[in-house]
Amino acid sequence: MNFLIEIENSSNRLEELARNFSTHGNLTIGQYSAQIDAVTGDQINLAARRALNGKPTMVVTGGAINMVPSMTDVQRQLN
């Protein structure tokens, strides 16, 4: 739904169409929406498994770096 709201603005719509054309050749907004609707729960689960299967990356900024949990603690919480 957010995708459709974003393309209500004509400049966003033109940018999206140009990006789709350069990437896919000829992909309309309707076709794009249909492809999104065709995604299955199994495909989403597979993508999530692949994304979470490796070691996490952690970046910390600011002055309270001593309050950040260790990488071991983060990995334990993700498993």
Q: Degrees (nearest 5) of the Cα angle 54, 79, 38?
A: 65
- pTM beyond 0.85: the answer is no
For residue 4, the model assigns a pLDDT of 62
Domain boundaries, the chain: 2-78
pLDDT tens string 18-53: 777 788 777 677 777 888 899 999 999 999 988 888
For residue 57, the model assigns a pLDDT of 80
Query: Is residue 55 a contact partner of residue 75, using CB atoms and an 8 Å limit?
Result: yes
Query: Is residue 75 a contact partner of residue 56, using CB atoms and an 8 Å limit?
Result: yes
For residue 18, the model assigns a pLDDT of 79
Q: Which tokens is 30 given?
A: 């309707």
Predicted confidence band at 10 (pLDDT cuts at 50, 70, 90)? Answer: low
Query: Greater confidence, 41 or 7?
Result: 41
